[in-house]
Amino acid sequence: MNVLVINAGSSSLKYQLLNMENESVMASGLVERIGDAKGVLTHKKMNGADEEKTVIERAIPNHKEGLHLVVDLITDPEKGVIKDKKEIYAIGHRVVQGGEQFNTSIRIDESIKQAIRDNNPLAPLHNPANLVGIEVAEELFPGTPNVAVFDTEFHQTMPPKAFLYGLPYEYYKELRIRRYGFHGTSHKYVAKKAASVIGKKLEDVNVITVHLGNGCSMAAVKKGKCIDTSMGMTPLAGVMMGTRSGDFDPAIIPYLVKHKGMNVHDLDDVFNKKSGLKGICGLNDMRDIHAKVEQGDEMARLALDMFVYRVKKYIGAYTAALGTLDIVAFTAGIGENDDIARKEICEDMEGLGILFDADKNKGRFASPQAIHKDGSKVQVWVIPTNEELQIAQDTVSTLS
């Protein structure tokens, strides 16, 4: 049973074809610069652990053309991985914003597309692009079921005390202003995996999932249900990120308008693209920041300290929210690869029951790895995320 996972952006289309009998990746790739004079398709065919790469550079005028090229590659008589596109059982689509309508993945029909469209105002950069991906897949794969898997669905179990803001209640009712949270497929996958690696059921443990990539978010998962998460109505809130601010005092907004003459567009641009690690030290890639810290750069050190401190505070807050904590699970680019950040976050947390093991922590991990000392009340793990697999699993379970 093969499932194609599609993550469509405004000018890109990421895809992965998985064989769900053994949950292995058959092929994956990325179509970029759709609509530009020169588009790029980077396709990888898996041959066991090896990958065979094909790069196509040419104008790719729209998403349909992009997906057409992908279908040609995966069904190519010599280089392909399947003979016919009919061998694809279903297509799973990442959809960023499901609002309050969707607390689970769902098979797509006209009414579901309309519901996704209704959420466009909440995710104007993402949902319209996700819809394009869905419509193109419907055209190119007639008769094949499409399933929407929402970034927000895992967080829909949050209670009102966690998802509401201290704003006039009618803003929630009229404008749907509330915390939705994002990276849901990653938090779900990692929480499940964390429970399974310690031999427990997800329903029997409390987990804090720490997704640290370019975008960073954390979730408090109590007996399998998300009770709080750090991102908000948009993916700007929470911990500090590569270029996004994370939490700050909202009164700074009118202050900037008054003193810097900034408008809505300027503010959006600064908070999303010029803040976070980049806003402090000019760099947003954690590897570059470590290199600068090594050279004694004080601003890079400050940016790293701020990043670490905020993640630490959220671990404390979510421990309180959960009541008891069993596992902290690190994931994504920084969470899986950055032993310095993990060490600085987890050190001096004995009071919370975390006995961190700096030796076990050393290195980058492509499979689950415990990084706590024997006897630590709270276990700390690195759990590599797999959002595509989670989307494929949800696609299969939605259809069965």
- Smallest distance, ligand ADP to C-beta of residue 333, A: 2
Helices 298-322 and 339-346: angle between axes, nearest 10 degrees: 50
The number of beta carbons lying within 10 Å of the beta carbon of residue 193 is 21
Residue nearest to ligand ADP (CB): 333
The backbone region for 330, taken as left when phi is positive above 0, alpha when psi lies in -120 to 50, beta otherwise, is: beta
> With binding defined as CB under 6 A, does residue 329 bind ligand ADP?
no
41 class by beta-carbon count within 10 Å (0-12 exposed, 13-18 middle, 19+ buried): buried
Shortest CB 362 distance to ligand ADP, Å: 12
From the CB of 357, what's the least distance to ligand ADP, in Å?
A: 19
- The HSE-up count of residue 186 (CA atoms within 13 Å, CB side) is 26
How many angstroms separate the CA atoms of 108 and 113, rounded? 7
Q: Give the strand order in the sheet containing 216-222.
A: 225-229, 216-222, 206-212, 327-331, 379-382, 369-370
Report the first-to-last Cα separation within the chain, whole angstroms: 12
Q: Which of 109, 151, 266, 339 is catalytic?
A: 151
Counting Cα atoms < 13 Å in the Cβ hemisphere of 61 gives 0
Near ligand ADP by CB under 6 A, which window of 83-91, 207-215, 260-268, 303-311? 207-215
- Residue count, binding to ligand ADP (CB under 6 A): 13
Cα separation, 178 vs 156, in Å, equals 11
Beta carbon nearer to ligand ADP, 178 or 187:
187
- Shortest Å, Cβ 163 to ligand ADP: 23
Q: Which amino acid makes up residue 318?
A: Y
Question: Which residues, 332 to 371, sit near ligand ADP by CB under 6 A?
Answer: 332-334, 337-338, 364
Asked if 213 interacts with ligand ADP (CB under 6 A), we say yes
Binding string, 72-111, against ligand ADP, x = CB under 6 A? Answer: ----------------------------------------
Which C-beta is closer to ligand ADP: that of 10 or that of 47?
A: 10
- Subset of 214-243 contacting ligand ADP (CB under 6 A): 214-215, 242
Nearer to ligand ADP, 214 or 272 (CB): 214
Stretch that binds ligand ADP, among 53-61, 129-137, 211-219, 256-264 (CB under 6 A): 211-219
Interacting span for ligand ADP (CB under 6 A) from 45-53, 57-65, 327-335, 370-378: 327-335
Is the distance from CB of 220 to CB of 211 less than 8 angstroms?
Answer: no
Which structure tokens are listed for 144?
């094949």
At 55, phi and psi to the nearest 5? -120, 125
Residue 330 to residues 160, 189, 193, 303, 306, Cα–Cα distance (Å): 27, 12, 11, 20, 18
Judge whether 383 and 342 are in contact, CB under 8 Å. no
Q: What is the dihedral of CA 84, 6, 121, 156, to 10 degrees?
A: 120
Only segment of 55-63, 89-97, 208-216, 355-363 that touches ligand ADP (CB under 6 A): 208-216
Site string for ligand ADP, 276-295 (x = CB under 6 A): ---------xxx--------
Closer of 30 and 74 to ligand ADP (Cβ): 30
To ligand ADP, the closest distance from the beta carbon of 248 in angstroms equals: 20
Residue with Cβ nearer ligand ADP (71 or 286): 286
Distance CA 400, CA 256 (A): 52
Taking the least distance from each CB to ligand ADP, the nearer of 146 and 369 is 369
Window contacting ligand ADP (CB under 6 A); options: 72-80, 98-106, 249-257, 326-334: 326-334
Whether residue 151 lies in the annotated active site = yes
Taking the complex as a whole, the smallest distance from the CB of residue 387 to ligand ADP amounts, in Å, to 9
Which is nearer to ligand ADP, 289 or 378 (by Cβ)? Answer: 289
In the complex, minimum distance from the CB of residue 394 to ligand ADP, in angstroms, rounded to a whole number: 19
Distance CA 150, CA 146 (A): 13
Say if residues 229 and 246 touch (Cβ distance below 8 Å). Answer: no
Least separation in angstroms between CB 186 and ligand ADP:
9
* Active-site amino acid positions: 151
Q: Which residues bind ligand ADP (CB under 6 A)?
A: 213-215, 242, 285-287, 332-334, 337-338, 364
